[in-house]
Structures are given as structure tokens and as C-alpha cells.
Amino acid sequence: MTAICTDRGMFLYVVLILVQNGNGEGCTQIRKNGHYSCGGRNLTYIPTSIPSSVEMLDFSFNFLPTLQRTVFPQLYNLKLLDLTRCHIHHITDDAFHNVKNVTTLILTGNPISYTGLDGLNSLHKLHRLVLVDTGLSSLNVQFSNLTELRELNVGTNNVQSVALPPFMINFRDFSSLDLHANNISILRVNDTNVLRQMKGNITLILSRNPILFIEPGAFQNLHLRELNIRSAFISLDAQRDGLKALVGLNVGKLIIGSYRAHHAKTTETNDLDGLCLINYEEFYFYQNQWLDLSSHVFRCMVNATKITLKRGRIRVIEPVSFRQLKELYIGKNGLEEIPQLSNIQSLEKFVVVDNDQVLFRGLRDMPSLRHVDLSRNLMSLRSCCFEYFRDTPNIRHINLSLNANIMLLAKPFSGLDLLEVLDFHHTEIGVVGQFGLLQNLKYLKYLDLSYTSNTFGSTSSFYGLTSLKVLKIAGNAFQKETLGYLFENLIALEVLDMSNCDIDRLVWRDFRDLQRLQHLLLSQNRLMVLDFLAQTNLPSLTRLALDQNGITSIPQNTLQNLPKNLSIFDISFNPINCLCTQRDFIQWIIEHQKMFPKPHNVLCKTLQTDSKMRAIDFDVESCIHAQILTVVLSMCAVLLFVFASVLAYRFQFYLRYSCVLLRGYRASRQQECSYDAFVIYSSKDESWVMDELVENLENGIPPIHLCLHVRDFEAGKAITSNIIDEGIMGSRKIIVVISKHFIESSWCRFEFEVAQSWLVTQGNANIIIIILEDVEEEKTKKVFGLHKHLKKNTYLKWSGKPISNMRFWIRLRKAVMMRN
């Protein structure tokens, strides 16, 4: 019993090892250039499958409690080593011996309690060292030999001082020290000594620290590239005093604000006064939650070149004379009015977005202004646009999208001739489609009029836009016949978006001038046929979106004529007819899946709206079987027909005679008999019939009136009709003259058979048979019914001898005259 258990234990152990090995071997190569990922596999060693040429190794979330020399094979090409959260406690002296060329080492989230003196120091080429969340309590780490170090990230630790170890003075390329989320509460002048002696241009990140006090002068004469003190102070008061203590600092980018809500929701007028003591170029104020700012917010920013405010609520802004401001970004600020800035000669970019129904009175006299973004403000403008942009001749970019409504003047963009980008999407502007309002914009490259409640009725809507590359007019409408001329002369156009425009038909001439068109978006229309594609000459087209239309099928000639460079073809969510008759089309879809952005969304038409059937799942094979079946069936049908024809030929008389029967049956039974007897005979026996039969019967007393087809049939009437009408119907009796010739003549046989069955159907079997010459019994069988008839009924036999002739004529006359 125990033995078995042990065995099973062994077995499980082996399986575990195998699984682990399997995982290890399964490290995935992310990119060609030697980037491997073994992340999150709880590995305890570096898999042997990693080639020595590996340059980047992501070994995060594994299990390497002690880093020592044997952990790493020789990976001298390795540049980036990510050991995030690998449970590393110990780093021995020779730990990185085999990976000594690493330039980036990430040790985030390891509870490192011991680092050998030379542990990190052997990484002479290290540029970037990440020691986030490693339980560090000071910056006195053993890395004095890392003179190439540029970036040190010791965020989320317990460091209490920004004081750098003195040896860092020698780190000549050092450029970034990240101390976010540590326990720094006090900054003294001495703490920045090393920083001051370094070459400068360093980024210092102190965000999310509980700074209480900064000793004034701590930053005097420091030159920083960037200082991030967002949420770096324990309170707004500490921030106000802290900012003042930054006196004398020179910094490129100053980032302040808060991640969390302050207790106070309003700032005091003098809260940002400290900024007047700092020399900075770019100012960023980011709030996560609303904070009311005073109207003096810009007072100490007159020297800034770039100002960004997010979520600092400013109700009113005092006018400020900026001296070198190039960019102003105000986002989500609950503004009531867009600042009436004028005469800022340096301003190039003006962005005020995300305010609610803000008032805009225009911008004046800004010769450098190139970029204006007033989107997402829900504002209403009357008499746009040049009235709002006076003496701003260099504007290239105006974004007025996502506003409420904008009314355009007659020449809305006069004086703004250099415009390159114009975006009005989701703003009601109406009249662009009715007049050629954009004619002066010959440099315009990008025009977005999507969802602007336009109906394009004027063919000159886009007149003059010879540089236009991108035109978006989704969600609008077209008057009939406008489309054919709307895009005339847009010779530079590369992107055309006409999604959701209720288009049900396009013709090739709509696009005939668009030789450079690369993307054509026609999603969400009502197109059912794509015949315009068969002729359209769109040589540059690479992307064609036709999703959510009414396309059921695309004919082969269209598919064959698709533009050569087309690589994205979207026909998702169309009611494709998945039928065997469409086999070629569906086969085409299956073979060209790469062209479809989401082949799974190419769906078949189904009756139930909730059921989905993908075109690529359609079983084309079954169609081939069905086709084979059809071929076989039709071949059978052909064979059957041939067979039937052969039969029909073989038995043509029976057929004919059935026809005759049917016809005769329809004829009146009341017909008067105009002959006493109809004679059926072979024409080769005509001499006997004429000389003997006619002579003896017609000239006797009483005369018997015979019907002979040579003599009595109506000319021009079909023979069969004659047989029926004149012969059989018109005579009381039928005389059949049997001879060898008779048997051999198919016509005679036919007549006999018709007569026989006619009389049978009429109920009187008045056939008188004359055997003119002996016929072998076998031969009589050839004539349907004759053999039987001869057996059952008496017949007259012609012998040619005068005595018996006498009796023959008497009997024949009697038989003919007999009424029944």
C-alpha cells in the first residue's frame, strides 16, 4: 500500500517537474530582436532555451530568492533585465557576473535585505536602475562604480532625504532621480549639495511625499530640467510655503497640483505667489479633483512659455500680459468665458477644451497663433469665423468640434487663408453643404464635417480645396445628383469618410477624380450593390470599409477588379447570402481573410436576429457535393430523355396512334357516314384494289361506296386527320387488305391499328379482313392485334379462282352491307 502511494507521489513530482520545465522552455520570443518574456511562470532558474544572444529578458514574477553567479548563464548581449517581483532577498557580490553588460536593471517589488558590496557595482554599463518598492530606507546603496548611470528610480520606498551619496557627483550623464512616494518630509539646504554640484539638467520627481518644510535656499541656483512636486506637500499651506522656499530655482518644467482631494476646495489668492520666485519655462497644474483657483492664478506665470491647467476651476481670469507664452492649455476648468486674450505676440497654440457652455468673444491680434482648439465646450457661436479671429493671419489649425452650434458667415474664413486643419465634427453648422464657403482655403489639408447636420446640395461645397487630403463627412446627407460632382477637383484627397450618410447607391463617376484616394470609408450606409467598384479607377486605394451595409453578394468581376493595393477590406455585419449559388464569393472571403480586419464579423444573413453565422464557417465542400449531385441528376435526366426518345422513335406509331385516338375521341360521334367502307391497303396492292375491289363493289347493285385514300382523302389535310375523319369516322366498315406488302408498310400497320382501336373504343368491331395472299403467321404478329384478330374472327380469303371469287364477292358484299 505504502509503496503504491510513494510511487504516485513520485509520479506527481515528475509531472510537476515536467510542467515546470515545459513552462520554462515556453518562454516566448516577443520580437525578432532577441526580446524574450518568461514573466509570471514561477520559474526558479533561467531556462536553457533562452539563447545567449538575448538582448531583453523579462523574467518578472518568478522565484529567485538569492541572486548569485550561477543564476544567470553567460548572456553578454543582454541589455535589459527585468526581475520585477522575483522574491529576491539576497544579491551576492558576483550575482551579475554573467550579465555584466546590462544597461537597464529592474528590481521592482523585491524585498532586498542584503546587497553584496560589488553586487550592483559590477554593472559598469548600467544606465537605468529601478529599485521601486524594495524596502530602501536611504539612498546609501552600494553603486558607487555605476558612473554611466543616467536614471535612478527609487519610488515607493522609505527614503527620508533627497541627499544623494557624494560619489554621484562623478555620474556625469545622470539625468533623472525619481523619489515619488517616499517618506521625505523635510528638505534642508545640505540635502541638495550633491545635486547642486552635478552638471545640472536633472529631472527630480518628489511627487506623493509628505513634505512639511523646505529650508529656504535649498534650491537656490539649482538648474533642473524638470521638478515634479505634484501632491508632494502634506497640505496646501505647506505647499504655499514650500513654493516660496524654492526661491532661486531654475527649472524647465514645473509640475504641481494634486492627485488627491485637498481638505480645502479653494485656494487663497497668494497660494501660488511662490512661483514668482522661481524661474521656469513650462508650468503644469494637474488636479484629479476640482480645486477652485483664484483669479490671480496667472500672476506669477508671465515669464512662462507654456502653461497647462487641468481641473483647476477658474471662474474669472484677471488679464495678464504674458511676455513669452507660446502655448496655453486649459482643460476641464469650468470656465464661464474663454479668456479674452489679445495681443500676445508670442502665442502659438491656444487650447481651451472641456468646459460647459462657455462664452467666447474671440481672439485678437496674435500674429504667431497657429493652432486653436476650442473643442468640447458646448458653445454656440453666431457669425463665425473671421469675426472671432481678428488679426490672426497665421492660424493653421482650428478645432471647433463637439460644440453646440455655429453659424457661418458668408465668407467665413476670409483672412484665414492659411488654414490647414478645420474640425467641426459633432457641431451643428448646417450651411456648408449649400454654398461654396471654403473656396479660399487652398492649403486646407484636413476637413472634418462629420455629424454637422449638413445636407450637401451644392456641387461647389468643396470647391477650391485642391490640397485637401482628409475629408470626413460622416453622418450627413446628400441631395440627389450632388454626389456625382461633389468631389470634383479634390485631386489630393487620400482619406474620404462617408460613413452613416444613408447612401444607397454609388456610381463610379462619383470618385473619378480621386486618383490618390487611399482610404474610403462607407460604413453604416444602405449599399446593396458595389457595381461602382467594378469600373472605379481608384489605383491608390488600400482600405475600403463597407461594414454595416446591405450587401448580400459581390459579383466575381467586381472582386477581380478590386484595386491592386487594397489590403483592408471590411464587409463586417452585412447580410451576406450564404448560399451555394454564392459559393465563389464565399470561397473568396475564406481565401482573403487577411484583408478583413475582423473576419469573424463577416456574417451571413439569418432569419433570427440573435443568431450569428459567420461566412468563414460556411461549408463550401457541401456545395461541391450538392453540385455533383445536381450534375449526376441532370445527366440521369438527359439519359432518361435520350432513352425515352429512342423508345418514342422505336414505337412512334403507337405514340402517333395514341394521339390520333385522343383526337378522334374528341370528334363527334354523331358524324354521318358518307362511305360504306374504308379500305386499308398497301399502295403496292393498288391495282388489285382498283381493278377488283372497286370494280366489284362500287359497280354492283346496290353500289357500295368505298373510301380510298388515293381518291377520297382531302388534299392538304394531315394524313392522320384524313384517316380518322374521312376514313374511319366517315365509313361504316373498314376493309383491310392483308398482303406481304401490307405487313411491310408501316403506314398500313398504323392505319390498321388506329382503325382497330378506334372501333374498339367506339364499341363496334366492324373490321373486314381480306387475305390477299398468304402471309406467314410470324409476320402477322408484326402488326399489332392482327394475329389475334385473325384467330378470333373470320376473314375472307382471295384465291384468284373465278368460282371461289364469286363466293368471295357475295360474302364481302354481305359483310359490308350488314348493319349492326
Ligand X SMILES: *[C@@H]1O[C@H](CO)[C@@H](O)[C@H](O)[C@H]1NC(C)=O
Residues that bind ligand X (CB under 6 A): 42, 44, 63, 118, 121-122, 145, 158, 160, 183, 185, 200-201, 223, 225, 276, 300, 302-303, 353, 373, 375-376, 399, 401-402, 421, 423, 446, 539-540, 565
CB burial of residue 779 (10 Å; 0-12, 13-18, 19+): middle
Taking alpha carbons only, the member of 406, 478, 393 closest to residue 443 is: 393
What is the separation, in whole angstroms, between the first and last Cα of the chain? 115
| Residue placing its CB nearer to ligand X in the complex, 219 or 688 | 219
Cβ at position 13, least distance to ligand X in Å? 12
Element (H, E) at 186: strand 186-187
Residues 6+ apart with CB under 8 A from 815: 733, 768, 796
| Residue placing its CB nearer to ligand X in the complex, 14 or 644 | 14
**CA separation, residue 732 to residues 75, 665, 674, 729 (Å):** 122, 16, 8, 8
Cβ at position 124, least distance to ligand X in Å? 7
> Which residues share a beta bridge with 390?
364
| Residue placing its CB nearer to ligand X in the complex, 34 or 109 | 109
Residues 6+ apart with CB under 8 A from 690: none
Cβ at position 608, least distance to ligand X in Å? 38
Cβ at position 43, least distance to ligand X in Å? 9
CB burial of residue 77 (10 Å; 0-12, 13-18, 19+): middle
- Cα–Cα distance measured from residue 369 to residue 128, given in angstroms and rounded to the nearest whole number: 40
| Residue placing its CB nearer to ligand X in the complex, 163 or 815 | 163
| Residue placing its CB nearer to ligand X in the complex, 201 or 343 | 201
- Cα–Cα distance measured from residue 740 to residue 779, given in angstroms and rounded to the nearest whole number: 9
Taking alpha carbons only, the member of 682, 685, 759 closest to residue 728 is: 759
Order across the sheet with 90-91: list the strands. 66-67, 90-91, 114-115
Cβ at position 300, least distance to ligand X in Å? 5
| Residue placing its CB nearer to ligand X in the complex, 187 or 706 | 187
| Residue placing its CB nearer to ligand X in the complex, 110 or 401 | 401
Element (H, E) at 607: none
Cβ at position 612, least distance to ligand X in Å? 32
- Cα–Cα distance measured from residue 343 to residue 369, given in angstroms and rounded to the nearest whole number: 10
**CA separation, residue 650 to residues 398, 640, 646, 655, 746 (Å):** 91, 15, 6, 10, 12
| Residue placing its CB nearer to ligand X in the complex, 100 or 364 | 100
CA 621, 622, 628, 630 torsion: positive or negative? negative
Cβ at position 448, least distance to ligand X in Å? 6
Cβ at position 54, least distance to ligand X in Å? 23
Cβ at position 280, least distance to ligand X in Å? 8
| Residue placing its CB nearer to ligand X in the complex, 116 or 436 | 116
| Residue placing its CB nearer to ligand X in the complex, 447 or 680 | 447
| Residue placing its CB nearer to ligand X in the complex, 88 or 660 | 88
- Cα–Cα distance measured from residue 145 to residue 124, given in angstroms and rounded to the nearest whole number: 7
| Residue placing its CB nearer to ligand X in the complex, 563 or 727 | 563
452 touches 426 (CB < 8 A): yes
Cβ at position 9, least distance to ligand X in Å? 17
Taking alpha carbons only, the member of 205, 221, 214, 201 closest to residue 256 is: 205
What's the maximum distance between 2 C-alpha atoms anywhere in the chain?
Answer: 168
Cβ at position 110, least distance to ligand X in Å? 15
Strands 28-31 and 35-37: antiparallel
- Cα–Cα distance measured from residue 5 to residue 445, given in angstroms and rounded to the nearest whole number: 77
Residues 6+ apart with CB under 8 A from 692: none
| Residue placing its CB nearer to ligand X in the complex, 565 or 652 | 565
Cβ at position 637, least distance to ligand X in Å? 50
> Which residues share a beta bridge with 384?
408
| Residue placing its CB nearer to ligand X in the complex, 223 or 740 | 223
| Residue placing its CB nearer to ligand X in the complex, 87 or 779 | 87
- Cα–Cα distance measured from residue 159 to residue 209, given in angstroms and rounded to the nearest whole number: 10
Cβ at position 388, least distance to ligand X in Å? 17
Three-point CA angle 783, 788, 789, nearest 5°: 85
Cβ at position 278, least distance to ligand X in Å? 7
- Cα–Cα distance measured from residue 550 to residue 576, given in angstroms and rounded to the nearest whole number: 8
CA 301, 307, 313, 317 torsion: positive or negative? positive
The string of DSSP letters for 325-352 reads --EEEEES---SB----B--TT--EEEE
Radius of gyration of the chain (CA): 53
Cβ at position 640, least distance to ligand X in Å? 55
